[in-house]
Structure 1
Amino acid sequence: MQYRFITIEGNIGAGKTTLALKLAEHLQAKLILEEFADNPFLPKFYAEPEQYAFPLELFFMAERYKQLKEMLGTRDLFSTHTVSDYLFIKSLLFAKMNLKEDEFSLYQKLFDIINPQLAQPDLLIYLHAPVSKLQQNIKKRNRSYEQQIPDSYLANVQDMYSQFIRQHPVRTLLIDTTKMDFLHRPEDFQTLLAALETDYPLGITYL
């Protein structure tokens, strides 16, 4: 398979980590999972977003950069593939949505300094799900600090990602998760594996 570095993205509760785990296991790939639970500002942000947005986003950016730099900079002799459950640029996307204008201006300057130092994925798998399905998944996994996320916030995240993948030349495989279930339907996972053998152009391809 030609895609050596695959990143899976999507809204909160879209199933990114579930698919990343399954795909990495099948490919015997190096796995990079976002360590969001280590962010001490996350529960505070959901309770008081205006007060904690800036430290939240700075912490995320620093931790994502450190993890990707370490993981992508070390060659694994027994693995030729890498699967990640986040894009580094999500730091900038969420910051633009959550920060005030002056805070975002400073944040973007820092992002622009470190982003060129990181390898970019060969393929982005974007998992799309309606807000109602996202809320079902969020309730099912039962993280206490996520239970009060409003539909409006998830809708804003959805719009943010949609705008990004349409405006940037990223090789993207877009999957409607209401039609495919990689965890419970083996045939859907096989369809994805077959799709990964295709050479896609820059832009969006719908699976």
Structure 2
Amino acid sequence: MNYRFITIEGNIGAGKTTLAKILSERLNARLVLEGFEDNPFLPKFYKQPEQYAFPLELFFMAERFRQLKEMLSGPDLFQSITVSDYLFVKCLLFSKVTLQEEEYKLYQRIFDIIHQQLIFPDILIYLHAPVHVLQANIKKRDRAYEQKIPDEYLLQIQETYLSYMQQHNMKILFVDASNADFLSNESHVQTILEALEKEYDIGKHYLALPE
């Protein structure tokens, strides 16, 4: 495989972590998972977003940077495969939706300073699903603080991701995850694994999962 650093992204409830865990097992890869449950501001944010958005996003950025920086310091970075369930630029994409204008400008200045120290993934797997599917997945996993996420917020996040991918040159596997079931449907996992065996040009490459 030509891809040593694989990142999986998508909206809340798209299945990023599930797929990352499965791929890491199948590829015998190092796994980097976002520790979202460690963020003490997350439950507070969903109750009072304007008050807690800035500390929420700062905490996420600091933890993501620390985690990825530790990964980069490993001696076998280019000898092994690494699978991550987040892209560091996620910090900027979410903060663009959650922060007020002046807060975002400050946040972006901090982000611009530190993100240059991190390497970019070799390929991005983006899981795209409609909002009603995301909401169903969110309800199914039953995290109390997520149960009242409005559709409008998920739509904003989705549009921000799509805009980012249109504006940046990278190798992207754009997966229609409307019917994704990586835990129970082996053909869905195999479709992803087979796709990763191919070499792609820079740009967006669409991938449909079997019915």
TM-score by length of 1: 0.96
Query: What does the per-residue CA deviation read over 1:13-69, in whole Å, with 9 as the maximum and x for residues that have no partner?
Result: 000000000000000100000000000110111000001111111110000000000
Alignment of 1:26-37 (within 5 A): 26-37=26-37
1:101 Cα deviation after fit: 1.1
Letter in 1 for 2:45: F
Whichever residue aligns with residue 51 of structure 2, its letter is: Q
Once residues 181 and 24 of structure 2 are traced to their aligned partners in structure 1, the CA distance between those partners, rounded to angstroms, is: 17
Show structure 1 runs of 4+ deviating over 6 A. none
| Kept in 2: contact 1:30–1:76 (CA 8 A) | no
Asked if the contact 1:172/1:204 (under 8 Å) is kept, the reply is yes
Alpha-carbon distance in 1 for matches of 2:95, 2:187: 38
Q: Which residue of 1 aligns with 2:191?
A: 191
- The residue number in structure 1 matching 2:132 is 132
TM-superposed deviation, 1:76: 4.2
Partner of 1:40: 40
Deviation at 1:8, TM superposition (A): 0.1
Residue 173 of structure 1 is matched in structure 2 by 173
Match of 1:183, SS?
A: coil
Consecutive unaligned residues of structure 1, counting only runs of 5 or more, are none
Q: Superposed, which structure 2 residues align to 1:111-122 within 5 Å?
A: 111-122=111-122
Q: Using the alignment, how far apart are the partners of 1:105 and 1:25 within structure 2? A: 39
Indicate the residue corresponding to 2:205 in structure 1: 205
Mapped partners of 1:114, 1:139: distance in 2: 35
Q: Give distance in 2, aligned partners of 1:181 and 1:195.
A: 17
- The separation in 2 between residues aligned to 1:6 and 1:85, in whole angstroms, is 9
1:19 aligns with 2:19: yes
Matches within 5 A, 1:41-60: 41-60=41-60
Partner of residue 106, structure 1: 106
Amino acid at match of 2:27: L
How far apart, in 2, do the equivalents of 1:169 and 1:18 lie? 26
CA RMSD of aligned residues (A): 1.2
SS across alignment from 2:83: strand
In structure 2, C-alpha distance between the alignment counterparts of 1:39 and 1:180, rounded to whole Å: 28
The alignment partner of 1:7 has SS state of strand
Distance 1:139 1:199 in 2: 37
Q: Which amino acid aligns with 1:56?
A: L
- Separation in 2 of the partners of 1:82 and 1:46? 31
State the secondary structure of the residue aligned to 2:174: strand
Query: For residues 148-159 of structure 1, what are the structure 2 equivalents within 5 Å?
Result: 148-159=148-159
Q: CA shift at 1:191, angstroms?
A: 1.7
Query: What is the CA–CA distance in structure 1 between the aligned matches of 2:97 and 2:8, rounded to whole Å?
Result: 20
The share of aligned pairs that are identical, in percent, is 63
Amino acid corresponding to residue 98 of structure 1 in structure 2? T
1:95-153 Cα deviation digits (max 9, x unpaired): 11111111111111110100010011000000001100101110111101000101111
Farther off after superposition, 93-102 or 17-26: 93-102
Secondary structure in structure 1 of the residue aligned to 2:172:
strand
CA distance in 2 between partners of 1:135 and 1:73 (Å):
37
- SS for the counterpart of 1:145 is helix
SS for the counterpart of 2:104 is: helix
Q: Quick one: distance in 1 between partners of 2:184 and 2:166? A: 30
Distance 2:26 2:72 in 1: 19
